[in-house]
Structure 1
Amino acid sequence: MSTTASEQHPSVLLVDDDATLRERLGRAFRERGWEVTTAADYEAALVAARRESPEYAVVDLRMPGHSGLELVRDLLAVDAATRIVVLTGYGSIATTVDAIRLGAVNYLPKPADVDDILAAFARATHEPAVAAPETLQAPSLARAEWEHIHRVLADSAGNISEAARKLGIHRRSLQRKLQKYPPSR
C-alpha cells in the first residue's frame, strides 16, 4: 500500500489567541513531522483554511470576536473532512455538547499539550469502548459557578457592571468572586 504526501505529513491548523500556546503547540507538531499553520483569530483561521484546507484543526473556544464554536461550524463548511478538537480554559458540559454537535471530534480542557491533542484525535478515530476507561467527573458546584461567571463576563466583553447585571448580583460581589482562584474540580 502506497502512502500519499499528506499521510506522511498531516496538516494541522492551530487557532488560539494566546500566542505563546499557539507557537509552543506549533513547534511540538512540527517536531513530530506535521505541516502546521497557525492563526490568532476566526478571520485568519478561515483565510488559512480556504487557502489550503487542513486535515486537522485545534480551535480555542474563547477568542476575541467570533467564538471557537462558530469557527468549528465554518471550518467544516469549508471542508467537512477536517477533524477538529476544541480546547478551552472554560470547559463545561454545555459547551462540550455544542462543540460535538457542531462537528468537533473531541474537546479538551486547557492546559493541553500536543500528546493530549494527538490522543484526542486518536480516540475519535476508534470505536467507543464498551466500558469507558475514564469516568466523567462532574464539576463541583463552586467550579460550575466560577465557569458560569467567567462565561458571562466573557460574553459581556469584560464589562463587570454588565456581567453583574446579567448575573443578578451586585458589582462589588462580582469583583470579590473574580479575585478568587478557580476552585478545583
Structure 2
Amino acid sequence: MTDLPRLLLVDDDEVFCQVLERALGKRGFQVIVARTLEEGLAQATRLTPEYAVIDLRIGHDSGLVLVQKLKELDVNTRIVMLTGYASIATAVEAIKLGAVHYLTKPADADEIVAALYKESGDPNVEIKEKPLSVKRMEWEYLQKVLMEHGGNISAAARALGMHRRTLQRKLDKRPVRE
C-alpha cells in the first residue's frame, strides 16, 4: 500500500487519461482513472480520494454531477473541473458545487497540480478589454439555460423555443473563443 495522496481522474478520453495519469504519478499522486461517471463514483466510494480531476463532459454525462457526489462523500476532497467546453455558467456551477478550480483544456499537469493546491482567488487575474463576441454570448446563454434545467436538453430546448436537435448541435460545437 502506498502513502501517496489518492487522486481520482475521470475523463472519457483514453489517451489524455494515460498521459495525465503518468504525469500526475510523477508529481507524487496515486492516480485512479475512471472513464465513465458511474466508474468514477464507484472508485470514489471505494477509495475516498483526497483529490479529483473531473472532466465537465464525460461521454454524454455531466461531470458536475460527480463533483456534487464527491463532496457528499467527503467535503475535504479538492476537485478541479477540467473542460474543453468552458462557459461561465458551468464554471460558476462547478465552484458552487465544491470544485476548487476550473481549468480549460489543454491544461498540463503542472497547471492542474497548482490548481489543486491553490487556496485563494487571484485579485490580479487579467480582465479582458474586449467584450464577448455575439457567438460566444449565445453559447454562454445556451449553457446557462441548460444548467437552469439540470442539464436536461429537452427541457432547455423547450424553454428556448427551439428544437432539441438544434440545441444539441449548437452545444456539441466547441465554444468560439471570446
The TM-score normalised by the length of structure 1 is 0.74
Aligned-residue sequence identity (percent) comes to 48
- Are residue 87 (structure 1) and residue 82 (structure 2) matched? yes
Tell me: higher relative CO, structure 1 or 2? Use CA pairs within 8 A at least 6 residues apart: 2
Question: What's the CA shift string for 1:87-141, capped at 9, x where partnerless?
Answer: 1111111111111111111101111111111121232x2x445xx2212446432
- Are residue 140 (structure 1) and residue 139 (structure 2) matched? no
Give how far 1:170 is off. 8.6
Q: Is the 8 A contact 1:16 1:59 kept in 2?
A: yes
Distance 1:64 1:166, change over 3 A: farther
Q: For 1:103 and 1:150, how far apart are their aligned partners in 2?
A: 19
Give how far 1:169 is off. 6.3
- Point out the structure with max Rg over C-alpha: 1
Q: Is the 8 A contact 2:54 2:63 kept in 1?
A: yes
Q: For 1:24 and 1:107, how far apart are their aligned partners in 2?
A: 20
- 1:26 alignment partner, one of 21, 45, 49: 21
Q: Is the 8 A contact 1:42 1:65 kept in 2?
A: no
Bigger mean CA offset, 40-49 vs 134-143? 134-143
Q: Secondary structure at the match of 2:57?
A: coil
Unaligned runs of 5+ in 2: none
Q: Secondary structure at the match of 1:108?
A: strand
Unaligned runs of 5+ in 1: 158-162
Q: Is the 8 A contact 2:89 2:140 kept in 1?
A: no
Q: For 1:136 and 1:106, how far apart are their aligned partners in 2?
A: 18
Give how far 1:85 is off. 0.5
- Are residue 72 (structure 1) and residue 96 (structure 2) matched? no
- Equivalent position of 1:160 in the other structure: none
Q: Secondary structure at the match of 2:61?
A: coil
CA RMSD of aligned residues (A): 3.3
Distance 1:64 1:170, change over 3 A: closer
- 2:92 alignment partner, one of 78, 97, 103: 97
Q: Secondary structure at the match of 2:32?
A: strand
Give how far 1:43 is off. 0.5
User: What letter matches 1:183 in structure 2?
Assistant: V
Report how many aligned residue pairs link the two structures: 170
- Equivalent position of 2:42 in the other structure: 47
Question: What's the CA shift string for 1:129-165, capped at 9, x where partnerless?
Answer: 5xx221244643222334556897x9659xxxxx988
Q: For 1:77 and 1:21, how far apart are their aligned partners in 2?
A: 27
Q: Is the 8 A contact 2:10 2:35 kept in 1?
A: yes
Distance 1:46 1:32, change over 3 A: same
Give how far 1:67 is off. 1.2
- Equivalent position of 2:109 in the other structure: 114
The TM-score normalised by the length of structure 2 is 0.76
